[in-house]
A and B are shown apart, each in its own frame.
Chain A
């Protein structure tokens, strides 16, 4: 039964990065089942994330669709790191045109261009359209692109 609910949670997308679901993002910390009651512990990526309310609603909807009658969503304070993303998440981001986060020890380095792969990029803005992204421009192909912050 637990597996079924985990499967359902994989259907909940991160609204700001629709190619990844909240399980791949490493946001779900645990699922406990007691009969038809399901309790989910999840953590936000960034604490000021404006999508939290929406994500909570989507979690409840997905679990109810999978058969849960009562859903409790608990927000944990456990810090989130880009190291907690599932294997394969980086490739999906790259395919979506977002430079994936770097391994944590390389947090200060610049990412390569997701379009042409060139390492010749310049930081345009340490802040982007959402809290989790920065803005770069590639010097080789000229592409302006978003990069996931390494945290």
Chain B
């Protein structure tokens, strides 16, 4: 498929945003390894992180096919201001409720996006989405179960889950902000329409949260662009990139 230059540029931006969300979230998840509340969750969260990284690799390989970029360099040698992740995934891991509520909000979005993206007119994207969608099914099930457990567990777990939701819910809506030039991609049938997905998301996720006894907040600040970041991204990348920046040849183990 031959892409017009403006479509190619917009697709590169979308692929980068997809990959950056996964890389940053995987890094936050991996901070729990060795520290999760129970052994089973330690294993589960390492699995989640590994899956997200696998998907990031896929998106960056798609990008590489379009512009010849090297996935490793993009991940390990790009500066924070060049990262295109949503604020949702860079916020510190917080407590277990914060981590699981964030994971649920992200998994539900990703599941919907991937399901729609399987219809993409750009065959490599449709194929990659189909592959990732099969794996994501397990994520959503897991995080939804945790949100339910926390919401209905004790007064304390409920309070913490609700508090996390207050902070995170507006940030989750940033995931549905169209990127510059994305309308053209939607029109060409290359990617799902973010605003249409947002309607379905608010209905499904809002419904689930209310059923388990949580109240999704109204309003709140939704970052407008993926150039917006918090200070937390700097320390996250500094740690994640330290080995590669110190020794770019430290590739294999």
Contacts and interface: CB of A to CB of B under 8 A. Distances in A.
B3 interface: no
Interface in B26-55: 40, 43-44, 46-48, 50-55
A4 interface: no
Contacts of A125: 40, 43-44
A48 B54 contact: yes
Contacts of B159: none
A53 B43 CA distance: 22
Secondary structure of the A side of the interface? loop
Contacts, number: 64
Contacts of B131: 47, 77-80
Contacts of B130: 79
Given A46-B54, A47-B57, A149 B43 contact: no
A127 B47 contact: yes
A77 B127 contact: yes
Interface size, A (range): 20 to 34
Contacts of A46: 51, 54, 135
Nearest to A49: B54
A127 B53 CA distance: 16
B43 A129 contact: yes
Interface in A49-99: 49-50, 53, 77-81
A135 B39 CA distance: 12
A122 interface: no
Interface string A137-151: 000000000000101
A32 B149 CA distance: 52
Most buried by B among A78, A124, A127, A129: A127
Contact of B127 (A48, A78, A131, A149): A78
Nearest to A75: B61
Most buried by B among A47, A78, A149, A151: A47
A81 B55 CA distance: 17
A5 to B, nearest CB: 26
Interface string B114-140: 000000000010011011101101100
Most buried by A among B46, B47, B52, B57: B47
Contacts of B46: 127
A82 B116 CA distance: 23
Contacts of B142: 126-127
Nearest to B127: A77
A77 B128 contact: yes
Interface string B39-79: 01001101110111111011000000000000000000000
Nearest 3 CB-CB pairings of A with B: A48-B54, A47-B54, A127-B47
Given A47-B54, A81-B134, A149-B138, 5 more contacts: A48-B135, A78-B127, A79-B134, A127-B46, A127-B142
10 contacts: A47-B55, A48-B55, A49-B54, A78-B131, A79-B130, A79-B131, A127-B43, A135-B40, A135-B43, A149-B138
Interface of B: 40, 43-44, 46-48, 50-55, 57-58, 124, 127-128, 130-132, 134-135, 137-138, 141-142, 252
Interface of A: 46-50, 53, 77-81, 124-129, 131, 135, 149, 151
